[in-house]
Amino acid sequence: MAHNNRQATAPACDPQYFPVVTGADLLNDPRSNKGTGFTERERDELKLRGLLPPRVFTLEQQAARIMENYRRQPTDLDKYIFLGALQDRNETLFYRTVLDHVEEMVPIIYTPTVGEACKKFAHIFRRARGLYVTAKDAGRVEELLRNWPERDVAVIVVTDGERILGLGDLGANGMGIPIGKLALYSVCAGVPPERCLPIMLDVGTGNEDFRRDPLYLGTAEPRITGPAYDTLVEEFVQATQTVFPKAIIQFEDFANRNAIPLLKKYRDRVCCFNDDIQGTAAVALAGVYAAVKIQRKQLVDQTFLFLGAGSAATGIADLLVAAMRADGLPEQEARRRCWLVDSTGLVVHGRDRLASHKLPYAHDHAFAADFLSSVQTIKPTAIIGVSGQAKTFTREVLEAMASINDTPIVFALSNPTSKAECTAEEAYRWTNGTAVFAGGSPFAPVTVGGRTFVPGQGNNVYIFPGVGLGVMGSGAKRVTEKMFLAAARALADKVDDDHLAEGRIYPPLSDIRDVSVAVAASVARVADHGGELQGLPERELESRLRSLMYVPSYVMK
């Protein structure tokens, strides 16, 4: 049950503040429950006397107990389950603990551990979180959305589960993705948890193993496609505009066949974006901005070769083109700097049946059948992996990149770790320590030739929470390309010379709230009809945005 007067966001000086419920009901309400943190006075006034152990603990003491038990968990999946249980009983303690240990816990509540959690979601399920909209709900989606107890929703993350990370169609098990993403909105950018809504569009699944699993939670039928699918999505989008008119919609982990058309259809109609396309693009562009500083070159000096030609690849390429155009390069020349390799080979003019999203990057060139020959022919300065195919940046590929470039850029962005095109150690060792590397998942530091490199993680968490905060704060009606360009630049500006000296092209996650505020400020600055925030001096703008951020703490009486 959610309440309007949240303990963690109520003013500490408000003597009138009380939770709505009392007694055992209060202890079962994760939004208001403090557990052993309730004071002596609160235990009397809220009918908690005797329902708790007698000693009162501070939030910090409770967090210490959580960390002791968390670190005792034998596997990352066990840690994920442990944190989920904490979120279900005491949200304030959950967010305080994660925020204080963000570098340690983000890989647990999101990538890479969330991939394993989604595969096993039906078997580790404890408590429902978010909304499930099924094909059978067609015609009454608005009614279903009104069942959600909060009305002032700021961010909706929605998936249909068809392309979860690099793991394929996980159906309703993909609900772990919206849940995890929205936890990061609250941790990293302070979007209040009660203003976050995870939604699963359960339209069936193509995964036969799940359909045969007696414990599978979703619709155990083949996935609907075509007009029936399009009609349901349209009804859903329209219903959100009526029920949650202030919300930004984040499309997450839709398959290419739907992701690109849905973004094209709705981006100019409602306040929405696709994180796999636009968030990934912005974090990749930010990494490139930082990498070229290490090279002592410019963005317009680069040639990019992508392994993978889906929505993520073309999304990154489109934003790179926009950035190069902003730096003065003509559009056609900028597109010529971006090349794609798909499952057939190099994308070039003359190939049959190319998908429409690949056509802008189909250049006049001889066909190359594999990635290595494409590297040898195109001679890129940067390779970007978004293929979902592990170990495809082979030793031969990386040695070729090192022979072509003094400082090759190597981004192996596929998630989870098991799908990475190469590891950080492979990238550094097979280029003799010359590569500028980023992965989609975290990798440990690597020492090569007496030098220790700190691998960057091209994690969308650096972008999407700040974008959400910027849109929420400015009241922007649309999410635009220039917002992501500005967000990428703001993120790159957070990488200082000390970071670059380590080979790090993203700031440490411990700085994530400062990063998110900088990203949010950049978004608010360029928002169309962005309201009064646009006219504020930088320091005041950031201060106003910080004032909107949820800070997990107890209001004590």
The whole-angstrom separation of Cα 471 and Cα 477 is: 8
Assign 272 to helix, strand or coil.
strand
Hunting for tokens 């990798």 — which residue is that? Answer: 443
Tokens of residue 140, six digits = 């009454």
Tokens of residue 43, six digits = 């235990």
Contact partners, residue 156, CB within 8 Å, separation at least 6: 197, 198, 199, 240, 244, 247, 248, 249, 250
Helix/strand/coil (H/E/C) assignment for every residue in 134-166: EHHHCCCHHHHHCCCCCCCCCEEEEECCCCCCC
Question: Phi and psi dihedrals of 528, rounded to 5?
Answer: -70, 130
Tell me which DSSP letter residue 346 carries.
Answer: B
The two beta strands, 196-202 and 338-341, are unpaired
**Residues forming beta bridges with residue 196, ordered by sequence position:** 155
**Residues forming beta bridges with residue 155, ordered by sequence position:** 196, 248
Tokens of residue 526, six digits = 């360029």
Contact partners, residue 513, CB within 8 Å, separation at least 6: 99, 188, 189, 190, 549
| Residues with catalytic function | 110, 181
The whole-angstrom separation of Cα 360 and Cα 332 is: 9
Hunting for tokens 């100019």 — which residue is that? Answer: 268
**Residues forming beta bridges with residue 306, ordered by sequence position:** 340, 384
Consecutive H or E run containing 200? strand 196-202
461, 462, 465, 469: CA torsion to nearest 10: 180
The whole-angstrom separation of Cα 543 and Cα 553 is: 19
Sign of the Cα pseudo-torsion (297, 299, 302, 308, in order): positive
CB 136 within 8 A of CB 125: no
